[in-house]
Amino acid sequence: MALKIFNTMGMRREDFIPLREGEVRIYVCGPTVYDFIHIGNARAFAVADIIRRYLEYKGFKVILVSNITDVDDKIIKRSQETGLSVQRIGELYSDAYFEDIDALNIRKPDVNPRATQHIPEMIEAIQKLIEKGYAYQIDGDVYFDISKFKDYGKLSGNKTEALEMGARIEVNPKKRNPADFALWKAQKEGEPGWYSPWGWGRPGWHIECSTMAMKYLGETFDIHMGGKDLIFPHHENEIAQAEALTGKTFAKYWIHNEWLTVEGQKMSKSLGNFITVREALKMCSPQVLRFFFASAHYRSPLDFNKENLRVAENNLRRIVGALEKLLSLMERSNRTGAEENLLEEVRRAEREFEEAMDDDFNTPLAISAIFTIVKAINSYADKNAEIEPSVKEEVRRKLSTLMGILGVEVQPEKKEVATDWENTLNGLVKLLLEVRQEMRRRKEWEISDKIREEMLKLGFVIEDTPEGTKCEHGSLHLKTKINP
């Protein structure tokens, strides 16, 4: 099956054919470094990381470029609020960004260009746009004339809306069109500035990305990525500038991830539900957060809430538990039919994983394939105490590789000697489970259900199986079982 990608340009699924055989060049819109990145930012970066990892798994050489916007209105405002220089604000939050993506096992881009280090290239691009008739200057500001670019709106379909939006938000009445956007902004008092043919000032946000993307990836590259909120006006404006400059297609494929909401609402500081990565990692582990990001298709909304995190944590624990079972099996020299069946199931699941990812990076379906491996391991381990070493290693490697594509490294949990408190707690849990089991035997369903509900509120997950009743608690790393 050929890899298919949903291309925002044209809003259709297309076969992925790279511009250069065996190589994929990707640009991802990076952070504006005025604050800690939030979980919505992190989802976009995690999606890009998964796509990068899968393309490498497929054998492509991937070159990924992601910018850092270190001069912008928001950074200037933060500088004025704190008294720190724009440069210092940029340094502090750039460092924090790298710490956060590292914590989430998001691999660093191959190139991380900073806007302030590419001002000369931006000035040169703006000058060429003026010479070609696509841009004009007014009192030290330079604007892109969208009426000169006939394909404006081809990504978002928003040309008319752009004119209306521009009329509402732009404040310069001297502009030719309300929606013409800034390529260069004249310096205001207290703002940083660079010298240009139009006076001291700084670049607009849109010209920063298109200039840096073309510098490191060429005038045309394979994939441009970012959150859905960047389609208009940012990516629309990037296309207009770049293609007006070169006369060539800017990016062949456009991939955009959907919103991440919090408790069903769009994240915003005014609603008090603005959650940074650092705050999220107080609620769950980095591995759980990465697994949570992969639990929904990138083009589907994803809601950040305690229940979804709990589900992600429990599912991840099931995968780790299967790995622990596999590694605990004793090794023997000869291979049996049961092991051949195990390998057959694992290899089939691997193919299903690839088919899911080839279908526009369908991570939920890919995770289902991983659970096929988990089920196969558990079934084998329940019936066998030994395994041939090469089979054990192949199954372990495949499980780890597929999880690694999702950015999640699975490792056996560290076993620690139980404390007296843990032994006491475990005993109390077993006692409650035995009381509940007795109530079920007597058909006292109301009492047994009440015990289950109250324990669930405390974080204890009870599962009744033919082999007995199992009980787990994530944060306490407690696992208990009583026989039927």
* Per-residue pLDDT in tens (0 to 9) along the chain, 484 residues: 799 999 999 999 999 999 999 999 999 999 999 999 999 999 999 999 999 999 999 999 999 999 999 999 999 999 999 999 999 999 999 999 999 999 999 999 999 999 999 999 999 999 999 999 999 999 999 999 999 999 999 999 886 555 555 444 556 788 999 899 999 999 999 899 999 999 999 999 999 999 999 999 999 999 999 999 999 999 999 999 999 999 999 999 999 999 999 999 988 777 778 899 999 999 999 999 999 999 999 999 999 999 999 999 999 999 999 999 999 999 999 999 999 999 999 999 999 999 999 999 999 999 999 999 999 999 999 999 999 999 999 999 999 999 999 999 988 875 544 556 667 788 888 888 888 988 888 888 889 888 888 888 787 888 888 778 888 876 566 677 777 7
CATH assignment of the domain containing 307: 1.10.730.10
Domain-embedded: residue 25:
yes
Domain-embedded: residue 247:
yes
Could you tell me if 256 and 353 lie in one domain? no
The 10s digit of each residue's pLDDT in 402-459 is 999 999 998 887 554 455 666 778 888 888 888 898 888 888 888 988 888 888 878 7
Beta strand 386-387 with 23-28: parallel, antiparallel or unpaired? unpaired
Say which DSSP state 2 is in.
Answer: -
State the pLDDT at residue 192: 95
What is the C-alpha separation between 288 and 320, in angstroms, rounded? 12
State the pLDDT at residue 171: 62
Domain-embedded: residue 411:
no
Could you tell me if 239 and 298 lie in one domain? no
Whole-model pTM: value is 0.84
What is the C-alpha separation between 181 and 142, in angstroms, rounded? 8
What is the C-alpha separation between 111 and 67, in angstroms, rounded? 8
What is the C-alpha separation between 394 and 371, in angstroms, rounded? 16
CATH assignment of the domain containing 39: 3.40.50.620
Say which residues have a Cβ less than 8 Å from residue 484's Cβ, sequence separation at least 6.
437, 466, 467, 468, 469
Among 401, 378, 400, 406, which Cα is nearest to 465's?
A: 378
- With the C-alpha atoms ordered 128, 129, 135, 140, is the resulting torsion angle positive or negative? negative
- 136: which 2 tokens? 């004009």
State the pLDDT at residue 167: 44
Domain-embedded: residue 151:
no
Could you tell me if 245 and 378 lie in one domain? no
Residue where one domain finishes, among candidates 372, 405, 438? 405
Could you tell me if 17 and 94 lie in one domain? yes
- 240: which 2 tokens? 């207009």
What is the C-alpha separation between 292 and 308, in angstroms, rounded? 7
Cβ 55 vs Cβ 47: under 8 Å: no
Domain-embedded: residue 74:
yes
Domain-embedded: residue 465:
yes
Among 137, 140, 221, 222, which Cα is nearest to 180's?
A: 137
State the pLDDT at residue 417: 47
Could you tell me if 30 and 92 lie in one domain? yes
Cis bond upstream, residue 18 (ω within 30):
no
Could you tell me if 438 and 301 lie in one domain? no
What is the C-alpha separation between 241 and 146, in angstroms, rounded? 9
Could you tell me if 78 and 31 lie in one domain? yes
What is the C-alpha separation between 225 and 244, in angstroms, rounded? 21
Could you tell me if 459 and 437 lie in one domain? yes
Determine which helix (DSSP H) or strand (DSSP E) holds 470, and give its type and residue range.
strand 468-473
What is the C-alpha separation between 146 and 159, in angstroms, rounded? 9
Domain-embedded: residue 328:
yes
Cβ 251 vs Cβ 223: under 8 Å: yes
Could you tell me if 248 and 300 lie in one domain? no
3-class state of residue 23 by DSSP:
strand
Q: What strand order describes the sheet that includes 221-227?
A: 61-66, 23-28, 221-227, 251-257
The 10s digit of each residue's pLDDT in 227-278 is 999 999 999 999 999 999 999 999 999 999 999 999 999 887 777 788 999 9
Write out the residue range of the structural domain in which residue 444 sits: 420-482
Residue where one domain finishes, among candidates 248, 282, 316? 282
Could you tell me if 449 and 366 lie in one domain? no
- Domain count of the fold of the chain: 3
Where are any strands of DSSP class E within 12-104? 12-15, 23-28, 61-66
Domain-embedded: residue 265:
yes
Say which DSSP state 232 is in.
Answer: I
Could you tell me if 343 and 378 lie in one domain? yes
Residue where one domain finishes, among candidates 359, 377, 405? 405
Could you tell me if 310 and 424 lie in one domain? no
What is the C-alpha separation between 343 and 349, in angstroms, rounded? 10
